[in-house]
């Protein structure tokens, strides 16, 4: 049974209190104690009033927190301001890595948070659980990743974890509010509550087995313009060339990371639109049709259309001409 550590309701106390199972973690988020419900109400009120300082203080002084991605051993002796102290949540104290990655989405409206929570859980079978943050204006996910074996040099194991997280970041950064901070797996995950928490049996959850995805800068493959903008004739051979290319790219998307692949295709297509080879309205219509008719992308069509539109507009800013 998958377990990870939990900590006291005081961020200054970094010594784990014990272990909690994934099932118990989910149960506590669905049905917290009355005391915690009172704290959550205060956090939500502070958020609505724009008092971020009070919100942070309430969280750090009152909420239990977890480190789902790693198990830490006895505290290492460290020095701060000339004084020795025991540090538990640090890389050198990791004794085991869990097959879980935490994802955060912040700065949303409550309506956006609910929509994103439901959408991501439905679209990504690697999501173990999805729930709202204490403020009700954010989303938390636990994503299943492969089990990483602890190497002699712990930093090598942490590096492998971050390889997976860079691919996660490439995929999920298209969604509003994505915060990459949890790539630091020692960061605390504060308890929340969501009676409508979504979850899967861990054994039935797919693994996110994609490692680092490095985007090739557009200027390397497609240099900055060396010719002035010019209007081209309809049905110009370069217009057909650009359209055929984007059709091939988008039609070929059949697996994750869908947003990354779509973003790349539309960025490149956008550079051709910016160069004047394809009319902007026609380009938008072409891309929308390709997304809607792609079986894989059609499963989350609205999210993918948002990615496509953003990427097309970004590509247009950097016109690229055929030689």
Per-residue tokens: 122: 């439905």
Q: Tell me, yes or no, whether 191 and 273 share the same domain.
A: no
Residue 65 pLDDT > 80, yes or no? yes
The total of structural domains in the chain comes to: 2
Per-residue tokens: 178: 């994505």
Q: Tell me, yes or no, whether 199 and 228 share the same domain.
A: no
Q: Tell me, yes or no, whether 224 and 197 share the same domain.
A: no
> For residue range 221-266, what is the model confidence (pLDDT) as tens digits?
444 443 434 444 445 788 888 988 899 889 888 887 788 889 889 9
Query: Angle at Cα 77 formed by Cα 75 and Cα 83, nearest 5°?
Result: 130
Distance CA 145, CA 212 (A): 13
In a domain, 288, yes or no: yes
In a domain, 209, yes or no: no
User: What pLDDT, on a 0 to 100 scale, did the predictor assign at position 80?
Assistant: 67
Residue 174 pLDDT > 80, yes or no? no
In a domain, 212, yes or no: no
Domain end (from 204, 230, 263): 204
Q: Tell me, yes or no, whether 147 and 264 share the same domain.
A: no
Q: Tell me, yes or no, whether 121 and 255 share the same domain.
A: no
Domain end (from 204, 239, 268): 204
3-class DSSP string for the chain: CCEEEEECCCCCCCCCCEEEEHHHHHHHHHCCCHHHHHHHHHHHHHHHCCCHHHHHHHHHHHCCEEECCEEECCCEEEEECCEEEEECCCHHHEEEECCEEEEEECCCCHHHHHHHHHHHHHHCCCEEEEEECCCCCCEEEEEECCCCCCCCCHHHHHHHHHHHHHHHHHHHCCCCCEECHHHCCCCCEECCCCCCCEECCHHHCCCCCCCCCCCCCHHHHCCCCCCCCCCCCCCCHHHHHHHHHHHHHHHCCCCCCHHHHHHHHHHHHHHHHHCCCCCHHHHHHHHHHHHHCCCCHHHHHHHHHHHHHHHHHHHHCCCCCCC
Give every CB contact of residue 81 below 8 A, 6+ residues apart in sequence: none
Q: Tell me, yes or no, whether 22 and 148 share the same domain.
A: yes
> For residue range 215-228, what is the model confidence (pLDDT) as tens digits?
544 444 444 443 43
Per-residue tokens: 216: 């090739």
Distance CA 252, CA 239 (A): 20
Q: Tell me, yes or no, whether 189 and 240 share the same domain.
A: no
Location of structure tokens 């891309």: 287
For strands 100-105 and 127-132, give the pairing.
Answer: unpaired
User: What pLDDT, on a 0 to 100 scale, did the predictor assign at position 181?
Assistant: 92
Domain end (from 204, 226, 241): 204
| pLDDT tier, 213 (very low <50, low <70, confident <90, very high otherwise) | low
- What is the sign, positive or negative, of the torsion defined by CA atoms of 137, 132, 89, 95? negative
Q: Tell me, yes or no, whether 188 and 233 share the same domain.
A: no
Contact 257, 167 (CB under 8 A): yes
Contact 14, 87 (CB under 8 A): yes
User: What pLDDT, on a 0 to 100 scale, did the predictor assign at position 222?
Assistant: 42
Q: Tell me, yes or no, whether 277 and 236 share the same domain.
A: yes
Q: Beginning with the edge strand found earlier in the chain, give each strand of the sheet holding 18-21 in spatial order.
A: 18-21, 3-7, 65-67, 189-190
Q: In b/e form, how buried is each residue of 95-127, taking b as 16+ CB within 10 angstroms? A: eebbbbbbbbbbebeeebbbbbbebbbebbebb
Q: Tell me, yes or no, whether 199 and 223 share the same domain.
A: no
Q: Tell me, yes or no, whether 122 and 42 share the same domain.
A: yes
Contact 135, 44 (CB under 8 A): yes
In a domain, 211, yes or no: no
In a domain, 323, yes or no: no
User: What pLDDT, on a 0 to 100 scale, did the predictor assign at position 172?
Assistant: 85
Question: What's the mean pLDDT in 297-322?
Answer: 87
Q: Tell me, yes or no, whether 196 and 144 share the same domain.
A: yes
Q: What domain range is 52 assigned to?
A: 3-204
In a domain, 213, yes or no: no
Q: Does the reported pTM lie above 0.85?
A: no
């Amino acid at each position: 049974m998958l377990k990870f550590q939990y900590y006291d309701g005081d961020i200054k106390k970094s010594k784990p209190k014990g272990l909690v199972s994934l099932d118990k973690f989910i149960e506590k988020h669905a049905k917290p104690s009355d005391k915690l419900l009172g704290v959550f109400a205060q956090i939500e009120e502070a958020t609505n009033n724009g008092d971020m300082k009070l919100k942070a203080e309430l969280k750090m002084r009152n909420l239990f927190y977890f480190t789902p991605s790693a198990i830490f051993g006895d505290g290492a002796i460290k020095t701060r301001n000339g004084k020795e102290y025991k540090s538990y949540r640090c890389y050198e104290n990791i004794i085991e890595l869990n097959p879980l990655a935490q994802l955060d989405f912040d700065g949303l409206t409550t309506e956006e948070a609910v929509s994103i929570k439901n959408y991501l859980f439905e679209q990504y079978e690697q999501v173990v659980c999805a729930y709202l943050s204490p403020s009700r204006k954010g989303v938390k996910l636990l994503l299943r990743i492969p089990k990483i074996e602890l190497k002699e040099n712990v930093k090598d194991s942490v590096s492998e974890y971050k390889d997976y997280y860079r691919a996660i970041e490439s995929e999920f950064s298209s969604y509003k509010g994505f915060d990459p901070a949890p790539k630091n797996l020692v960061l605390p995950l504060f308890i929340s509550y969501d009676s409508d928490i979504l979850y899967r049996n861990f054994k039935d959850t797919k693994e996110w087995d994609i490692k680092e995805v490095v985007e090739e800068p557009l200027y390397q493959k497609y240099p900055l313009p060396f010719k002035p903008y010019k209007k081209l004739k309809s049905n110009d051979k370069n217009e057909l060339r650009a359209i055929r290319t984007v059709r091939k790219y988008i039609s070929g998307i059949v697996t994750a990371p869908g947003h990354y692949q779509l973003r790349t295709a539309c960025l490149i297509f956008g550079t051709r639109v910016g160069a004047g080879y394809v009319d902007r309205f026609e380009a938008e219509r072409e891309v929308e049709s390709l997304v809607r008719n792609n079986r894989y992308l059609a499963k989350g069509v609205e999210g993918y259309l948002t990615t496509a539109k953003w990427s097309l507009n970004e590509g247009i800013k950097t016109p690229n001409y055929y030689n």
